Chains A and B, each alone.
Chain A
């Protein structure tokens, strides 16, 4: 009697299709990716139903948030040339000198929150250390209003470089008290910037 032989099935599966799909997705993600840059001051923005996206250039962002119980204001600017120019103008104003290498590094940085005097230390740090560094925030009280100067010089730089008016966005933490936000708004209004954006997250449709 002949034994019934079981057909031996191959254990290997055909991976070709899976590989195709995986690489298709990979290509999609690489092409659509814009790297998430770690922010020195993490801010939890409130949600809203507006659909307008934040512009990619000609933009200065003032982040307001609380870190370790202290209200801090950080400043960020888009565009390398604008950043460089702004730093030059600020250095001139406050009598601090920056080398060309510093300017180059500053152009690639993101937001910062230090007085102009200690900015050099932050520039010299590595990107990963900047986030960890204990930045006290940009001074904005009436005696030493550096935030005002930053915004003013950034506007000036943007007009010189791009020939367009700079837009200012306020990125406030949802739990931030209103008076702090108002102070920043007042600084903007003192320079006749009466229109600005508030950065918000996305809210569900059924709100």
Chain B
């Protein structure tokens, strides 16, 4: 690889000839080094910073005893996160559900379709009532057996479907407990 200096001119002549220097520098080693450093920096860099999902939960000060707000059951959807990546949803009240309770899958073919459908229904309902500013309310109830991924997934669904109001509730009604066990 390296260029050999083939200039073998001796000093036979009387003139002292300055040796012609080869102008080419061997860059191989330099390139080697550069690529080594590139590899090092590529591997040690964390290019993608982690994402942050903002979550606001309702205040739960025990001193704060505001009356439980009556919410229109036609606008509420409850999603119960069960074990083994299962979820159950129902609309309205558990005693008298408008739809469901029904088991459904995560992802775009499961809960997302349902959410979009219900969201449209709620929009039509509130528009008919003359209060189109009121959107859908989703109550998320993660059971003890659900995992963190399920919670993030469902919160992500809320963001994707642009659900205006949603919250995480940890209290289960007896009927909902039954629903969880009876699966």
Contact = CB atoms under 8 A, between A and B. Distances in A.
Interface of A: 10-12, 15-16, 18-19, 22-23, 25-26, 29-30, 32-36, 45-55, 64, 169, 171-179, 181-182, 185, 189, 192, 194-203, 207
Q: Is the interface of B mostly helix, strand, loop or mixed?
A: mixed
Nearest to A180: B148
Contacts, number: 157
B155 A179 contact: no
Given A36-B44, A49-B159, A50-B52, 19 more contacts: A10-B3, A18-B27, A19-B27, A22-B34, A22-B38, A29-B41, A29-B45, A46-B149, A50-B51, A50-B156, A171-B50, A178-B142, A179-B144, A181-B148, A194-B57, A195-B54, A198-B52, A200-B152, A207-B107
B12 interface: no
B159 A50 contact: yes
Given A12-B3, A34-B45, A176-B148, A51 B108 contact: no
Contacts of B56: 194-195
Given A34-B46, A48-B152, A15 B31 contact: yes
B134 interface: no
Contact of B1 (A12, A46, A175, A195): A12
A202 B48 contact: yes
Q: How large is the interface on B (under 10, 10 to 19, 20 to 34, 35 or more residues)?
A: 35 or more
Interface of B: 1-3, 24, 26-28, 30-31, 34-35, 37-38, 41-42, 44-61, 81, 107-108, 142-153, 155-156, 159-160, 170
Nearest to B54: A197
